[in-house]
Structure 1
């Protein structure tokens, strides 16, 4: 063993032979290397494809510290990165390649220096999801048995994390979710389960990745969020969970819209609606339709937007009799659709129509979904400003500032900054006071 190499030092710390390293790599991606391959790496050769990242992830996971590709193979680091798994086939094995990146620190810590993926790259992934046929899930015969009770605990845990995100969000919850994602990924690559349990386990992985991706994007960590969402899309495909996959593509669409790439956002949400199929009814179809309405609004397509708003309302009206609505869609309510319609009308330049929908949505929210209430109350303030109702806009802004604890959301801070800029356009003392209050909250 080459004692002078970092790889050799890592194996020495773990008390691993090269054969043991090969076995651990094959847990992440079954049958990917021979037991003797690491011996060659210790003599100076380098692994091919995305294997360097998988090796780095395996070592990081077991050493409890970050080991990077650049540190292991400096010459190789410029040729491979954390995104090798994105080029894998849309198969269970391809999803497993992603598991190697998400069960340790290197991918997550390294994303801060990576750029967000291009819109065409996201569309390409969504098209592959749409067009790749589903395959049966393959179980794992070796390892500690994963029982149905374990799956039930994981499902309950995801539901709890979603509820926590409703009332708190922020970096703390993102860290919590990613820790659970790492644990579920560990079970998937090390546990023993039959195909039915494997399907449930991959659905849990997809939900956790979707939630992590959504929170990361909400915090402004777009590169991180995109990759979590794309991993979730692969896991949903492996689980044959088309509704969850469509939701994840719709999240990519929403994230594209936040970045002002509206054509790409519309293309993505259309792919999501095409991918879910089935009779257009229920909460999931309502969610996709309302997100398509927002995409049309941002492009100034009034008739298409109004049509999608009507489709969303009609779909949700059918959900009461639809007992197949997934648990993760609990938050898609008449309040959400009404407020989102208000935001769409605001983007279309119809503030008077927007105000009616926003007020209705905020009334329906009651005390629920405080981050959504913060966002939509700021939209209400903008709608009133654009109708020259300065007093009403100030009142709505004060209501939004009462929810300032939810400003850890990148979207919320961006919207609050935009609201302040609109108040600055007025030279009235009231507008000046509101501007100073917003600035103080943003600074804090």
Structure 2
């Protein structure tokens, strides 16, 4: 069958929608206005295959479905105003389409396959556009209902409370955070606000997008996670927050490393570093860059990045540490340095650093402790200490299951095949049984 390359077909396919899905969403958009649309599967096919141009009303409904502002709909330019099927490019009016695409991608998973993560090439291109693009402030809206500043303050306060809960409680907040982000997106789209309030709304959308993205990432929903991180990047682009923009690129790079694509991670981070200012933020980026370089066996560049991360972390500054990297500490520096050295083959020194980092970690960071324990188990195995590895891996698994940290559980399960050669070592049978339960 010949692939349908019409921009409308590509745009809906990128969002996991069939022709009937699109027709149903168009009819729903009309109903929200108290009107009716005759859109059905056959009509969508005529637009996509026969080259028939939708009328003005249908194009406006299509724009609403895809999150495109009506003032960007040029009826005569159909289909050129449709959103790109891949990553939405950074632009002054790109925030809403990116946010709505991320939210839509998470809805009704039963009707589609799980979205794949964005390609490495597309992510590097996006990072390059961020590094070289012109920044623009979030503009005011002169139409719609006026937004009360006290209501925005309430959203900011409660969002902060939700995102700073302990991991054990935060596992229950996913639907609430989705709802908050949907509300903020609607306020940006339909509310009337001043430029300062607009910047606060974009900042709130960015913060919520980052938290929602990590929630998806922890549950292995990489396609959704990358789209929320990208939506957050668009929000920071609109508000001109360079360091927060770097946070989203750093998270996308972390995901690339996690998915065994360290080359993409390094290329993203190199671009992110060009516009990142705060020493703590630069330290985190250098630390993640070291991890990606070590995975590629680039020893000299890895050590250079680790040295930069250590220096930057201790660099004094009057500026407050950005919230997204305020958790970065000597513990993280030690453990990630250990992970980098382990990839370079320096297992014993790596193991020592990971142990030191775990000892420095505050009790409040349970999820991170579970991850660090899994790293320790890996180096114990590499050093030929299966009994100690089993004890540490079991502790990590039990902690992760108790607090609801599926990514940590996945780390331990990834180690299980390496334990099967030590089935008689102390603690290994018990670990295998717990992992299989």
Question: Structure 2 length normalisation: TM-score?
Answer: 0.79
Matches within 5 A, 1:46-65: 47=59, 52=62, 54-55=64-65
Query: Counterpart in 2 of 1:379?
Result: 375
Query: d(CA) in 2 for partners of 1:194 and 1:268?
Result: 34
1:425 paired residue among 405, 414, 421 = 421
Query: Counterpart in 2 of 1:266?
Result: 266
Query: d(CA) in 2 for partners of 1:191 and 1:299?
Result: 48
Matches within 5 A, 1:211-360: 211-276=211-276, 278=277, 282-319=279-316, 321-360=317-356
Contact 1:53-1:101 within 8 A present in 2 as well: no
Structure 1 stretch 291-300 or stretch 406-415: which is displaced more?
406-415
- Secondary structure of the 1:402 match is helix
Q: 1:435 to 1:100 in 2, by over 3 A?
A: closer
Q: 1:300 to 1:12 in 2, by over 3 A?
A: closer
Contact 2:140-2:194 within 8 A present in 1 as well: yes
Measured after TM superposition, the shift of residue 242 of structure 1 is 0.7
Contact 1:354-1:383 within 8 A present in 2 as well: yes
Contact 1:102-1:182 within 8 A present in 2 as well: no
Deviations along 1:103-154, one digit per CA (max 9) or x if unpaired, are: 6677674674433221101111111111110123210122333344334333
Query: Counterpart in 2 of 1:26?
Result: none
Query: Counterpart in 1 of 2:185?
Result: 185
Query: How many residue pairs are counted as aligned between the two chains?
Result: 387
Query: d(CA) in 2 for partners of 1:108 and 1:241?
Result: 33
Q: Does 1:37 align with 2:47?
A: no
Query: d(CA) in 1 for partners of 2:209 and 2:197?
Result: 18
Contact 1:407-1:413 within 8 A present in 2 as well: no
The runs of at least 4 aligned residues of structure 1 exceeding 6 Å deviation read none
Contact 1:345-1:353 within 8 A present in 2 as well: yes
Query: d(CA) in 2 for partners of 1:138 and 1:179?
Result: 24
How big is the alpha-carbon RMSD for the aligned residues of Structure 1 and Structure 2? 3.1
Q: 1:85 to 1:167 in 2, by over 3 A?
A: farther
Question: Structure 1 length normalisation: TM-score?
Answer: 0.78
Measured after TM superposition, the shift of residue 203 of structure 1 is 1.4
Q: 1:314 to 1:105 in 2, by over 3 A?
A: closer
Contact 1:355-1:383 within 8 A present in 2 as well: yes
Query: d(CA) in 1 for partners of 2:431 and 2:286?
Result: 35
Contact 1:184-1:201 within 8 A present in 2 as well: yes
Q: Does 1:137 align with 2:138?
A: yes
Q: 1:165 to 1:237 in 2, by over 3 A?
A: farther
- Secondary structure of the 1:368 match is coil
Give 5+ residue unaligned stretches, structure 1: 20-35, 42-46, 59-78
Measured after TM superposition, the shift of residue 431 of structure 1 is 5.6
Query: d(CA) in 2 for partners of 1:180 and 1:189?
Result: 14
Contact 1:103-1:183 within 8 A present in 2 as well: no
Query: d(CA) in 1 for partners of 2:156 and 2:140?
Result: 19
Deviations along 1:323-360, one digit per CA (max 9) or x if unpaired, are: 33222322112222222222222222222112221111
Measured after TM superposition, the shift of residue 87 of structure 1 is 5.6
Deviations along 1:28-75, one digit per CA (max 9) or x if unpaired, are: xxxxxxxx821xx3xxxxx39xx63633779xxxxxxxxxxxxxxxxx
Query: Counterpart in 1 of 2:97?
Result: 97
Query: Counterpart in 2 of 1:201?
Result: 201
Contact 1:57-1:106 within 8 A present in 2 as well: no
Contact 1:108-1:224 within 8 A present in 2 as well: no
Contact 1:374-1:406 within 8 A present in 2 as well: no
Query: d(CA) in 1 for partners of 2:413 and 2:220?
Result: 14
